[in-house]
Structure 1
Amino acid sequence: RELKSWSLLEHENVLPLLGVVIAPEAGQLWLVSPWMEKSNLRDYMQCHPEADALHMLIGVARGLKYVHSQGIVHGDLKANNVLVDDQGQPRLMDFGLSFDQEELNKVQTTSSMFYGNCRWLAPERLNPTEFNLRPAEARSTSSDVYAFGMVIYEVFSGEVPFYEIPNSMFIPGHVLDGKRPKPLEDVARPGFNGRLWSLLSDCWLGNPRERPSVQAVEVALQAVSSETE
């Protein structure tokens, strides 16, 4: 599935797929991509306090918008699944949990749908039946937007979502009770403001139909960036 999804994508904010290596004796298949020496977005931002957080997030939004335009749901978006290239541009990666929307209509349920880390998962991903959804239907562009809100939180706070709850087994109940990450009072980066917090709150709305599209999130990030220049 990852090979199928990834092979369809070509965008400056998506990590390119160079090829495939098959090891029949081990029964394994490896997907080959360019080496990204600057590591993932989370590590990069921690090591580069001078980096423009909004610029990086706008790049992630553009990559995700492109992925969605190709009819693909990422399914496992978090800062560790965004790499940074030699030009300092973010590149989405790890499409192992991705589905194209035609495939979503066919799939009933598989355990792989719940492999994504629960700290980034929308409430409908955690308990689809509560939303009258099949597990496959809970994986949507809207659930990606919820996760992208968590990526914005990561970049500005320097912490994973719900960092104050070390045991992840308690996260699903927390989220399904309507709780979200705490407001950023002591953020790791300058530039965070009330408008961004309002955007995060919209991304994290409990009703997936009420969340903004990734296009709207990109526009909002660009507006905040223009205000801070």
Structure 2
Amino acid sequence: MGHALCACARGSFSIEGQRYVLVQRLGEGGFSYVDLVEGLQDGRFYALKRILCHDQEDRREALHEVEMHRLFDHPNILRLQAHCMVEKGSKHEAWLLLPFCQRGTLWSEVEMLRDKGTFLPEERILPILLGICRGLQAIHDKGYAHRDLKPTNVLLDEEERPVLMDLGSMNQARIEVEGSRQALAVQDWAAQRCTISYRAPELFTVESHCVIDERTDIWSLGCVLYCMMFGEGPYDMIFQKGDSVALAVQNPLRVPPSSRYSAALGQLMSSMLAVNPQERPHISRLLEQLEALQPAPSGQDTTRI
């Protein structure tokens, strides 16, 4: 594991033999915060994610996120540049050095357009969705699921290529639940780690004997696609109003009528948002369907919804 040396007077530190200087705070959550830092050797900007670890379990979870990053070298999955564990008195911080994407998240792009009264056109949605699917395929092919896919966990690089981030909730793709105690444990874990308005129906009330598989990500992907099409997730407003998301996701989603998008794209989204996980496509099938949705030659008519 790398070592960090913080020289607070200069706001500089080193990780794995490379020195960086703090620039500004980018954001923070309940248990972590992200700073913009600059490499003193290469002059490049990076995002430094600092995870607060109060006990051994927190340290274990932070190192799990590190290990998940190490599994992948894929253009659609955020690459871990370096990491270390820093002592802060009786506590620790896990520092993860990550690439900095100046454009920000997919959500910031959707929100900016929505504030202007417009939405992502289909010709922009398709390559973004395709890139997300390729990142998910890499995760699923290694026997894992992301479990917290949402627009704020998708970065866009300078070429608008989507990059999946926040791998801390990743776990094995296939979870065999045997008994009510294990079902409750999985349900409680999902309540803590899977964002409620993008959480698959089967994770709200876990059956005593069932199999949870990677198609929880397909449901979340359907919600992400809905957000790109309509400016917010299908269950965001339900959550904001204080109504029951757990109840809402048990019923088929009503898709608002729109003439902006093809019927095929709407049908693809509906297949992802099937309440029964066994009816959702696997990621390989989605990729096949997306390839078929590539823009038609000029002059060829398409049916819109």
In the alignment, the residues of structure 2 paired with residue 206 and residue 76 of structure 1 have an alpha-carbon distance, to the nearest angstrom, of 18
Residue segments in structure 1 that go unaligned for 5+ positions in a row: none
Q: What letter is aligned with 1:150?
A: C
- Taking only aligned residues, the RMSD between alpha carbons, in angstroms, comes to 2.5
Structure 2 counterparts to residues 43-58 of structure 1, below 5 A: 43-47=108-112, 52-58=124-130
Task: Tell me the SS of whatever aligns to 1:12.
Answer: coil
- In 2, distance between residues paired with 1:80 and 1:169? 22
Match of 1:158 among 214, 222, 231: 231
1:84 corresponding residue in structure 2? 156
- Counterpart-to-counterpart distance in 2, 1:55 and 1:8: 24
Q: Kindly provide the amino acid, as one letter, of the partner of residue 170 in structure 2.
A: S
* Residue in structure 2 matched with residue 113 of structure 1 by the alignment: 190
Higher share in helix: 1
Distance across 1 between alignment mates of 2:256 and 2:292 = 20
1:122 alignment partner in structure 2: 200
CA contact (8 A) 1:5 1:72 kept: no
Whether the 8 Å CA contact 1:97–1:112 is kept in 2: the answer is no
Does structure 2 conserve the Cα–Cα contact (< 8 Å) formed by 1:2 and 1:96? yes
Structure 2: 5+ residue stretches without partners: 1-63, 114-119, 299-305
* SS of residue in 1 equivalent to 2:294: helix
Aligned counterparts of 1:118 and 1:101: Cα–Cα separation in 2: 19
Question: Which shows bigger deviation, 164-173 or 18-27?
Answer: 164-173
Going by fraction, where is strand more abundant, 1 or 2?
2
Q: Tell me the residue number matched to 1:220.
A: 289
What TM-score do you get using the length of structure 2 for normalisation? Answer: 0.65
TM-score (structure 1 length as normaliser): 0.84
Q: Percent identity?
A: 25
Residue range with higher mean Cα deviation, 206-215 or 59-68 = 206-215
> Which stretch shifts more, 159-168 or 208-217?
159-168
Q: Distance in 2 between matches of 1:95 and 1:117?
A: 13
3-state SS, counterpart of residue 247 of structure 2: helix
Offset at residue 228 of structure 1 (A): 7.2
- Pair 1:72-2:144 in alignment: yes
Cα distance in 2 for residues equivalent to 1:199 and 1:212: 9
Q: Which is bigger in relative contact order (C-alpha 8 A, separation at least 6)?
A: 1
User: Hey, what's the Cα distance between the residues in 2 that align with 1:199 and 1:106?
Assistant: 29
